[in-house]
Amino acid sequence: MAHTNSVSDASYEFIGGYPSSATTDQARDDAYLARALVAYRFWYPTVSIEGIFNGNREIGFDDNKVMGIAATTPRQVGFTLNSDTPYGAAALDLSEGPMVVELPAGPYIGLVDDHNHRWITDLGIPGPDHGAGGKYAILPPDYSAPAPIDHHVSQSNSYKVLLAVRALPIGGDLDAAIAALSRVKIYRLGTDKLADVVDTSTRSMDSSCLRWEDNLEFWRVLHGILEEEPVVEEFRPMHGLLTTLGIGKRTSFAPGEHEAALLASAARQGRDQMLVTAFAGTRADQVAWNDRHWEWVGLVPDNADFETPAGIDLEARDRWFVQAIVASPAMFRRVEGSGSLYWLAARDNSGTYLDGGRDYTLTVPLPVPAKLFWSVTIYDAQTRSQVQTSQNKGALRSLFELSSEQNSTDEITLHFGPNKPMNSADTWLETVPGRGWFAYVRIYGPETAAFDGSWRPGDFTPAQ
């Protein structure tokens, strides 16, 4: 249906001040759907992080018992995962007591998020150990015993939490980074039973909520999470909203046929609305450079919960979680030399969405103002995961493919599209005809030029 710029006005019939039977039925459905849409968008991060837990469990990794580590490629499906550094991820269950994560000294970057995708603590370089190593105790919500000494202590609002840790491949040494992840220790406080660390680099796995996000299963998964987790005090209004949909603690998830259809519709519409927010947003603060089509990915600097003086920026929260996973202040920090900067491009130089059936070039001025390293990664617009092609590659990275360019003071031209360019295979990423895609540029340890506008990448330009 063509957009007409008109606003629909539901016509409800009232007789003598009372709603007619037809109006009553329609208004009830409209209100139910409206509540479900609000609930869907608010609880999406909770269901999304369950997708990460589920990805580990599907390949046989029980909570607390295994941390999977991987040098990721497109075979690992997850929202905007990147191949800049290898990852480690584990689902931790605090229901039987605190868990400890022990990091050696070294170039680690990590975090712990709760079951609602809310930040608990950073680890490693952005954490309180600042790369010197240390023991991190994660306490369950109801823990009242004395906190362990000689630990960095944090308390979760949920029993299930996500540990995500990365090891920086210094000098492009990927094997050393994988080995560094294998030295991370995970165990229950007061025990010496270590979780196994298993390399999944060559295994296909899906750590997303794609299979649930647009259908009734979204609500079934959410209901299961709410059953096992305590009520979050700040979320009480949203817990209350769910009860009007028949979802909540100490209830069974058993919608009637009509309600099930409305909930499924809300999941489809809610997901689509969030994708519009992510890829067709119109906020002024998302624009990175006025003369380019690059946008900021994170819109609330230095805050992992999207809190502003006015309250929680729900639109920025929607935009982040429909295309990405995990959150910490370090990920959104806009401070010279600290953290990382992310920019997104979904359109070419004419403002047209990037098309997997077309060839493009991207000019990147050198040197890139990154104290550590930088990369360009491309993602499928539908799965928000690295583009899957026979090339099995979704990133061009300063530590690897582009390492020979780091001392240049000119520029580099990168290539994207279904056709391999002559004499430029090392700077080319393959795309898939019939599927849209978008790109992230990431800078780690950003320097002054990344902030003052004196450095900026070009737009994607259709190849001649």
pLDDT tens digits, one per residue of 245-282? 999 888 899 999 999 999 999 999 999 999 999 999 99
What are the residue ranges spanned by the domains of the chain? 14-49+212-277, 66-206, 281-462
Paired tokens of 146: 């004395």
Fold agreement between 14-49+212-277 and 66-206: no
Taking the alpha carbons of 57, 63, 69, 73 in that order, is the dihedral positive or negative?
A: positive
Residue 407, pLDDT > 70, answer no
Distance CA 249, CA 225 (A): 9
What CATH fold (topology level) applies to the domain 66-206?
Immunoglobulin-like (2.60.40)
Residue 7, pLDDT > 80, answer no
Q: Give the pLDDT of residue 403.
A: 87
CB 187 within 8 A of CB 145: no
Mean pLDDT to the nearest integer, 50-55: 97
What is the band of 105 on the pLDDT scale with cuts at 50, 70, 90? Answer: very high
Percentage with pLDDT > 90 across the chain: 88
- Candidates 414, 411, 412, 413; CA nearest to 394 is 414
- Does the structural domain 281-462 have CATH classification 3.90.230.10? no
Q: Give the pLDDT of residue 1.
A: 42
Q: Give the pLDDT of residue 302.
A: 87
Q: What is the mean pLDDT of the chain?
A: 94
Percentage with pLDDT > 70 across the chain: 97
pLDDT tens-place string over residues 191-249: 999 999 999 999 999 999 999 999 999 999 999 999 999 999 999 999 999 999 999 88
Residue 10, pLDDT > 70, answer no
pTM of the model: 0.94
Mean pLDDT to the nearest integer, 74-96: 95
- Candidates 424, 411, 279; CA nearest to 345 is 279
Return the CATH superfamily for domain 14-49+212-277: VPA0735-like domain (1.10.3360.10)
